[in-house]
Structure 1
Amino acid sequence: MHILITGAAGFLGQRLTQALVARGTLDGRTITRLTLVDQSAPPAIDAGDIAVVTTSRDLTQAGAWNALLDGRPDVIYHLAAVVSSAAEADLELGLAVNFDATRALLDGCRSRGLGQTRVLMASSVAVYGGELPEVLTDMTALTPQSSYGTQKAMCELLINDFSRRGLIDGRVLRLPTIVIRPGRPNAAASSFASSILREPLAGEGAVCPVPTELELFVMSPGKVVEALIHGAEVDAGELGASRCFMLPGITVSVAEMLEALRRRAGDAAVDRVRFEPGAAVTAIVASWPGRFSTAKADRLGFKGDDSFDDIVAGFVADPH
């Protein structure tokens, strides 16, 4: 089996790569080849008998997909994206990376007759927004309130249509906010959600730009990786007319996140968090819903975290 991963240099791409190498199989088939692509070359990995090709490529450039798709991958994990705040700050960049590159991927699959190729795209809770019910379902209308959410929603519609036509076997996993991310803060509007836990646990200060009553729908990196792998193994016939669904996250307020930090590391850790209101970040994150019914993902066998305390404990055990 040949697997292509875009955004493979990112933390999620690296974790997915490591998990696939450790398994050695996907959907009962032996993984023989991994193609890892990002704007900067993904790090080398010891993959044993699996042939690994790493390449740096700007997927927005004409012809960027040609060599990647000429290898006729069986599974494509499309993780490459410009994150929320960056897409809001630069509309052209967000459109080019989040939408145009995805359309080029789909057109490349169509022109090569890759109708059996499973294309998994990481989407986002940001596709929702505006006036919403208290608890959302996968079929709640998409009314994103950010350019990032809009770009992801457009890609979702295209993947649904290409799958309906038999041009690809698409699966869109709407990711909850991922916490706790390793590394340093990035340009994602939700970056603070990891920072207010990660930095205090390391003895450093952090800034919280949103009200503590704000609720987020969250999932740990480990469970997201498990979901990406499971998503490629679900039988297409079980997906139904819509290939898009929310993964099973946990609803938690910022205040509850800080209390979990207190239980783990004491008052001193919580005291390292400063509250500095950020209107731009708050406007984006507050538009994301915090409560979902994930009946479809549950039926398909996806598993979420048991508790937010487990998410914190998991990060402490493996902060990388």
Structure 2
Amino acid sequence: MKILVTGGAGFLGSRLIQALLQPEALDLLPGHGRIVSLDLAPYPYEDPRVESVIGDIADPACLARLVDAETTVVYHLAAVVSGQAEADFDLGMRVNLDATRVLLEACRQRAKAPILVFASSLAVFGGELPDKVPEDLAPLPQSSYGAQKAMAELLVGDYSRKGYVDGRVCRLPTISVRPGKPNAAASSFASGIIREPLAGLPSNCPVPLETRLWLSSPDTVIANLLHAARLDGQALGLRRTLNLPGISVRVGQMLDSLERLAGLEARARVGDEPDPRIERIVCSWPGDFDIRRPLQLGFGVDRDFDAIVAAHQRFMKTQ
């Protein structure tokens, strides 16, 4: 048995692979199974069960070789993030849309359809939004990244309908707090305004404090991605798309949590210089969802943002 993780060298992909290697994931990856990480960079950890392939996600020959008869699960996490996709339209289309079609075609050639877990985004939504987004709200993206993810979702749905893959589309909340350094995602500040102050560094909040964000911790997102592969596809029926659980938090409330857990000095490290480009993208995203269906299907959710900040503080002590 083999699991392919595209984007396996990235923050989310490498954490997912580490989780798949744990004894608790033996149902997904038995003792004799292996994982292939496909990315533009090597998988950052040494493990004999992981093959690190440096390659182009949009290369049909590469994917035809990696998606073979042993492949039971494919996690498609590779993507050009929101800010970068907005700045470089062609790159976003190639990686976020075209490569997804190439991957689906590689899966289509297998005699037994693999499970495919596709990491999508709440950026597929936009325009006039209700206070709480219902399960069946139609996407109306207001960014190139959101449009590319929405188009890829439709592809996964149709390939699933045809039986070429057993697809599960997971619209991820904004992940906070991400360790490491800021990236080109428009939502990068959602980690930066917590991570940097906790490390004694300055940060900036580019959006109004009343901006609502739909957030999930890294650990909860990883647990939910594992759960997505375990789901019986028949339980999903025709609707293969899931708005993964998160918590609705205003940016000001995030800073309140920072102050409660780390003090006024930490909060004072966060500036408030507006960035119209980031505000235009982020403020088009929904800030709350009806998550009754994913909760009924067994997905998990964080308790509150204080718990998320505390978890990151514990993580910092291990580094």
TM-score (norm. length: structure 1): 0.96
- What is the CA-CA distance between 1:294 and the residue it aligns to? 0.8
Question: Equivalences for 1:69-148 in 2 at 5 Å?
Answer: 69-70=67-68, 72-115=70-113, 117-148=114-145
Question: Equivalences for 1:278-297 in 2 at 5 Å?
Answer: 278-297=275-294
Instruction: Please tell me whether the aligned partners of residues 44 and 54 of structure 1 are also in contact (alpha carbons under 8 angstroms).
Output: no
Whole-Å Cα distance in 2 between the matches of residues 239 and 129 of structure 1? 25
Instruction: Please tell me whether the aligned partners of residues 59 and 102 of structure 2 are also in contact (alpha carbons under 8 angstroms).
Output: no
Residue of structure 2 in register with 1:258 after alignment: 255
AA partner of residue 297 (structure 2): L
Residue of structure 1 in register with 2:36 after alignment: 35
Residue of structure 1 in register with 2:172 after alignment: 175
Whole-Å Cα distance in 2 between the matches of residues 90 and 71 of structure 1? 36
Shift of the 41–91 alpha-carbon distance from structure 1 to 2, 3 Å rule, reads: same
Alignment deviations for residues 264-309 of structure 1 (CA, whole Å, 9 cap, x no partner): 1111001101111000000000000001001111111000101100
**Secondary structure at the counterpart of residue 217 of structure 1:** strand
Whole-Å Cα distance in 2 between the matches of residues 226 and 24 of structure 1? 11
Alignment deviations for residues 102-145 of structure 1 (CA, whole Å, 9 cap, x no partner): 00000111123342x10001100101111122211221010000
AA partner of residue 313 (structure 1): A
Whole-Å Cα distance in 1 between the matches of residues 135 and 15 of structure 2? 26
Instruction: Please tell me whether the aligned partners of residues 26 and 233 of structure 1 are also in contact (alpha carbons under 8 angstroms).
Output: no
Alignment deviations for residues 210-247 of structure 1 (CA, whole Å, 9 cap, x no partner): 00000000000000000010111011111121110111
Residue of structure 1 in register with 2:17 after alignment: 17
Shift of the 18–29 alpha-carbon distance from structure 1 to 2, 3 Å rule, reads: closer
Alignment deviations for residues 183-231 of structure 1 (CA, whole Å, 9 cap, x no partner): 0110000000100000000000001110000000000000000001011
Moved more, 196-205 or 129-138: 129-138
Moved more, 177-186 or 130-139: 130-139
1:267 aligns with 2:264: yes
Whole-Å Cα distance in 2 between the matches of residues 28 and 62 of structure 1? 26
- What is the CA-CA distance between 1:24 and the residue it aligns to? 5.9
Shift of the 94–307 alpha-carbon distance from structure 1 to 2, 3 Å rule, reads: same
1:200 aligns with 2:201: no
TM-score (norm. length: structure 2): 0.96
**Secondary structure at the counterpart of residue 108 of structure 1:** helix
AA partner of residue 243 (structure 2): M
Whole-Å Cα distance in 1 between the matches of residues 307 and 228 of structure 2? 23
AA partner of residue 22 (structure 1): Q
- What is the CA-CA distance between 1:77 and the residue it aligns to? 0.5
AA partner of residue 30 (structure 2): T
- What is the CA-CA distance between 1:41 and the residue it aligns to? 1.5
Moved more, 20-29 or 55-64: 20-29
1:239 aligns with 2:236: yes
Whole-Å Cα distance in 2 between the matches of residues 69 and 307 of structure 1? 39
Whole-Å Cα distance in 2 between the matches of residues 35 and 104 of structure 1? 17
Instruction: Please tell me whether the aligned partners of residues 86 and 144 of structure 2 are also in contact (alpha carbons under 8 angstroms).
Output: yes
Instruction: Please tell me whether the aligned partners of residues 20 and 28 of structure 2 are also in contact (alpha carbons under 8 angstroms).
Output: no
Instruction: Please tell me whether the aligned partners of residues 81 and 185 of structure 2 are also in contact (alpha carbons under 8 angstroms).
Output: yes
Whole-Å Cα distance in 1 between the matches of residues 308 and 143 of structure 2? 27
AA partner of residue 241 (structure 1): L
Question: Equivalences for 1:192-231 in 2 at 5 Å?
Answer: 192-231=189-228
Whole-Å Cα distance in 2 between the matches of residues 293 and 3 of structure 1? 31
Identity among equivalent positions (%) equals: 50
Whole-Å Cα distance in 1 between the matches of residues 69 and 108 of structure 2? 14
AA partner of residue 52 (structure 2): T
Instruction: Please tell me whether the aligned partners of residues 24 and 30 of structure 1 are also in contact (alpha carbons under 8 angstroms).
Output: no
Whole-Å Cα distance in 1 between the matches of residues 96 and 70 of structure 2? 22
Question: How many residue pairs were aligned?
Answer: 316
Instruction: Please tell me whether the aligned partners of residues 153 and 169 of structure 2 are also in contact (alpha carbons under 8 angstroms).
Output: yes
Unaligned runs of 5+ in 1: none
Instruction: Please tell me whether the aligned partners of residues 85 and 187 of structure 1 are also in contact (alpha carbons under 8 angstroms).
Output: yes
Whole-Å Cα distance in 2 between the matches of residues 210 and 160 of structure 1? 34
Alignment deviations for residues 46-82 of structure 1 (CA, whole Å, 9 cap, x no partner): 35xxx32111001123422121113541000000000
* Aligned-pair Cα RMSD in Å: 1.3
AA partner of residue 171 (structure 1): R
Unaligned runs of 5+ in 2: none
- What is the CA-CA distance between 1:43 and the residue it aligns to? 1.9
Shift of the 26–161 alpha-carbon distance from structure 1 to 2, 3 Å rule, reads: farther
**Secondary structure at the counterpart of residue 90 of structure 2:** helix
